[in-house]
Amino acid sequence: MDSLEDSDVADRLEKFKVAAKSSGVKLTHQRLEIFREIASSREHPDAETLLRALKPRMATVSLDTIYRTLWMLKGLGLVSTLGPRRDSLRFDANVDPHHHFVCVRCGRVSDFENRDLDSLPIPAQMPGVGTVLATRVEVTGVCEGCAGEQA
């Protein structure tokens, strides 16, 4: 697993400091360490993993602070969450190849089919990739219903 350059992490931290200042968010020790931790990882950690990584450095940091910080960072556009789920698990009986359109406003996921997108040329030189089983395109945007309303 290739790791991030220190300079990339420093860049991200700098961005955070600027964003925090301009949005009036206070730069606490906890927030800096939490962000440093997630900014240095390629592993898409969950809150529990971050807690374990931070505990040695910050004995009293707590899970609730981690969650609050992550949502705050997401609000600033500095982190994203994986998958369309901040809510419950969702199931799909369409097992044919298809793609998703996720509305960022209402969270609705709609399917669409498109032959051209079903078998994209995936570069083989991705680190760690063995066998490719399927490719799916996830399109993010604003759906027609939400586009009509004001933000």
Partner DNA sequence: GTTTTTGCAAAGAATTTGCAGCTTT
Partner DNA sequence: AAAGCTGCAAATTCTTTGCAAAAAC
Which is closer to a copy of itself, CB of 60 or CB of 80?
A: 80
Task: Kindly provide the b/e burial profile for residues 45-65, where b requires at least 16 CB atoms within 10 angstroms of the residue's own CB.
Answer: beeeebbebbeeeeeebeeeb
Using CB under 7 A as the binding rule, the residues of this chain from 77 to 136 that contact DNA are 86-89
Largest separation between any pair of C-alpha atoms in the chain:
53
Least distance from DNA to the Cβ atom of residue 22, Å: 12
Q: Which SS3 state, helix, strand or coil, does residue 118 take? A: helix
Residue among 43, 46, 113, 138 that touches DNA (CB under 7 A): 46
Question: CA torsion angle for 64, 67, 70, 72 (degrees, to 10)?
Answer: -70
Q: Does 31 bind a copy of itself (CB under 8 A)?
A: no
Give yes or no for a contact between 104 and 141, defined as CB atoms under 8 angstroms apart.
yes
Vertex 131: Cα angle to 126 and 132 (nearest 5)? 80
Q: 58 contacts which partner out of DNA, a copy of itself, none, CB within 5 to 8 A by kind?
A: DNA
Q: Does 12 bind DNA (CB under 7 A)?
A: no
Q: How far is CA 128 from the centre of its chain?
A: 20
Q: 110 contacts which partner out of a copy of itself, DNA, none, CB within 5 to 8 A by kind?
A: a copy of itself
Using CB under 8 A as the binding rule, the residues of this chain from 71 to 130 that contact a copy of itself are 73-74, 77-95, 100-101, 104, 108-112, 114, 116-117, 120-123, 126-130
Least distance from DNA to the Cβ atom of residue 124, Å: 33
Binding residues vs DNA (CB under 7 A): 20, 24-31, 46-48, 58, 60-65, 67-69, 71, 86-89
